[in-house]
Amino acid sequence: MKTGIFMLCIAMCTSGRTSGQAPETADHVIEGGKIIVELVKALSNKKDSDKDPGCKGNYADLCIENEAPGSITVQLEQRTNPEKREVVVLPAGKECFLQVRVGVWTYDLRMTGTTTSMRKGDLLIEGCNNLSMKIK
């Protein structure tokens, strides 16, 4: 595309009239060149804004697979924030916590309907990671 614009600029420069109007033609060529430069800048800025920024390290995904015979309730609580999340995973099922903030989370695994924990602990979630837990 840049080559095409460059060729257009050259064509404009060489197609100008040379019979007595050289200063006026040069002014037109310069103004045309400025317009082309501005057009190229505008098009290149549009391409940059359309790009996917990718993962910036602020979030991660956590998926839990239940291979146990009963359903499981999973609770997550972030230590530095009062944010809490909870999900019920059915037998032979899989559920995910999407866009979990980076940091240390406390998790609590329980059989659904009971108050006793099967497993409790802390989990460090780092940016751009897709974590997976299998419960047997």
Q: What is the pLDDT of residue 21?
A: 55
Domain range enclosing 127: 59-135
Contact 82, 106 (CB under 8 A): no
Q: Which regions of the chain are under pLDDT 50? A: 18, 48-49
Ranges of beta strands (E only) in 1-136 are 59-66, 72-78, 84-89, 94-101, 103-111, 117-125, 130-135
My answer on whether 97 and 128 are in the same domain is: yes
At how many degrees (to 10) do helices 22-50 and 2-14 cross? 170
Q: What is the pLDDT of residue 44?
A: 74
Residue in the block written with tokens 């659904």: 112
Q: What is the pLDDT of residue 120?
A: 92
At 89, which CATH number? 2.60.40.10
Contact 103, 79 (CB under 8 A): yes
The closest alpha carbon to 112, from 89, 82, 129, belongs to 89
My answer on whether 45 and 97 are in the same domain is: no
My answer on whether 41 and 107 are in the same domain is: no
My answer on whether 15 and 77 are in the same domain is: no
My answer on whether 64 and 101 are in the same domain is: yes
